[in-house]
Amino acid sequence: MNDPVSTTPARLEVQGVTKQFPGVLANDHVDFAVAPGEIHALLGENGAGKSTLVKMIYGVLHPDEGQIFWNGEQVSVADPRAARQFGIGMVFQHFSLFEAMTVLENIALGMDEPGDMRELADRVTEVSRAYGLPLEPHRNVYTLSVGERQRIEIVRCLLQNPKLLIMDEPTSVLTPQEVERLFETLRQLASEGVSILYISHKLHEIKALCDHATILRGGKVVAECDPDAETAQTMAQLMIGEELKTVSRRAGGNFGEPRLVVEGLHMASEEIHGVDLRNIALEVRAGEIFGIAGVAGNGQNELLIALSGERLAHHAEIIRIDDQPVGRMSAGARRRLGVCCVPEERNGHGAVPAMSLIENAVLSGHHRMELLNSIFIKGAEARRFAEKVVADFDVRTPGAEASAGSLSGGNLQKFIVGREILQNPGVLIVSQPTWGVDAGAAATIHQALNDLASEGAAVVVISQDLDELLAITDRLAVINVGVLSNALVTAEASVEEIGLLMGGVHGLDAHPAAQGGGETHAA
């Protein structure tokens, strides 16, 4: 990073930037600057205005007031193409990808001058390997996990040699090893003069990586700090404006009868590059939180789809809920028995972006919350349910009529998790429960999961955040190439042991490669 007394102009400076939407003042006269070679954190809770601010810097949105300066000169960033011409690159929190196209085609679409496609494919392979983010250029995006899709966004941006790299939650689906490799890359870029504007809710990452931090709350800059001189706790308190809640844990080991039992689940993936589930066995008891760790793309989505009933097992007895065979039951039938699910992909799978929060509450809650009268929606009951989710989980939104797509990623995550928990399920299967949410919201979600287990539910948490699993689970297993390891007592497990399992020490030959199919069945 440049000497702080240097007269070199800031690489980026914003002065008095303001942006208002109907009913929401997203940014209120924001001032901050990023020096050449500086790794600068932008912190704030969900809805604080971070994503709106960086979208204006990248030209996706335009300020209502204020100025943007680039290398000391005032500029107008008309659109993302203009931003890229200045040397601004951005890795978005939500993926701007066409699922029916290949990795290579998506990368080419995001570049102003992609050049020869064969040469570009070679560059993609070279850059992705160099940064520890392996990609196959000719794979279709719809076959990729969330973690693999995130790699596309990062590699596409790095291919354009940016002078300012904006990263919005870039590590939310990466393993610890991938995160460290990415950090090495970012430090090298910074040493060469590239500025990094880094948004993350993982405060230990901010301390490890960033030189300076600007903290937003309610659209305003409320503080600046040196992350190295702060603790994660003090930064979290600056973000939320109050003392961070401590999650109260249940007494461990006091569990009831098994509520979810899976024995010998084999299911071939429907995707050509998908992961087949092989001989999956697990048991989750009343009052227990059971974790499933693993690197992205090792069968997590396939397992959730099998447990939820979106695809059916070969035999009813393979999956049992409260000792009732459900392997051949649809997702709707399993919901009536008390199974609720939070999928990994919140946009499209967990919620329909174009629908209101009320309508999204009805989509999954109509069975258990009795929100339908024959074929008609009970409007008042549906509104009350949606508003309770918004209130109980502090979802920042103008109202329950707002579309799901209008919410920030973290707020939509809070809504989806809250919608499922408030249905009081007997079995809850939740994938990436705190993906992209701030420290305060993560504590709220973790407390809700603990409370649900305390009431006798069996909770399955599928997460790539190992710290999260170590903090909230009673037992955990690791999924690798579609094979689930033996369960470990979380309090007795070591990070090294879990890391070896995540890396595949039980490997492809850990179980007989008996393959089974499954039927697609709509929820």
The domain 258-338+425-520 is placed in CATH, from the list 3.40.50.300, 3.40.50.720, 3.40.309.10, 3.30.465.10, at: 3.40.50.300
Residue 170's pLDDT is 82
Q: Report whether 522 contacts 310 (CB < 8 A).
A: yes
User: Could you give the angle at the alpha carbon of 416 between the alpha carbons of 411 and 417, nearest 5°?
Assistant: 95
Locate the domains of the chain by residue range.
12-240, 258-338+425-520
Q: How far apart are CA 330 and CA 274, in angstroms?
A: 22
- At residue 500 the predicted structure's pLDDT band, cuts being 50, 70 and 90, is confident
- What single letter denotes the amino acid at residue 284? V
**Residue 236: enclosing H or E segment and its boundaries?**
helix 232-240
Residue 374's pLDDT is 78
Does position 482 have pLDDT exceeding 50, yes or no? yes
Q: How far apart are CA 405 and CA 358, in angstroms?
A: 13
- At residue 297 the predicted structure's pLDDT band, cuts being 50, 70 and 90, is confident
pLDDT digits (tens, 9 = 90+) for 463-475: 988 888 999 999 9
Residue partners of 414: CB distance under 8 A and separation at least 6 = 46, 393, 394, 395, 437, 441, 444, 445
Q: How far apart are CA 64 and CA 19, in angstroms?
A: 5
What does pLDDT average to over the chain? 88
Does position 403 have pLDDT exceeding 60, yes or no? yes
User: Could you give the angle at the alpha carbon of 515 between the alpha carbons of 512 and 516, nearest 5°?
Assistant: 140
Of 179-193, 235-249, 332-346, 361-375, the one with minimum mean pLDDT is: 235-249
What pTM, to 2 d.p., does this model score? 0.70
CATH code for the part of the protein at 12-240: 3.40.50.300
Residue 499's pLDDT is 78
* Phi/psi of residue 277, nearest 5 degrees: -85, 135
Q: What is the mean pLDDT of residues 4-8?
A: 61
Residue partners of 494: CB distance under 8 A and separation at least 6 = none
Q: How far apart are CA 491 and CA 253, in angstroms?
A: 11
Alpha helices in 393-492 (DSSP H): 409-421, 439-454, 466-472
Task: For residue 26, give the DSSP letter.
Answer: E
* Phi/psi of residue 339, nearest 5 degrees: -95, 125
Does position 519 have pLDDT exceeding 70, yes or no? no
Q: Report whether 479 contacts 293 (CB < 8 A).
A: yes
Q: What is the mean pLDDT of residues 332-346?
A: 94
Question: What's the length of the chain?
Answer: 523
Task: For residue 171, give the DSSP letter.
Answer: T
Residue 172's pLDDT is 67
Which is it for strands 475-480 and 164-168: parallel, antiparallel or unpaired? unpaired
Residue 409's pLDDT is 82
Q: What is the mean pLDDT of residues 19-38?
A: 95
- Structure-block tokens of residue 98: 């066409």
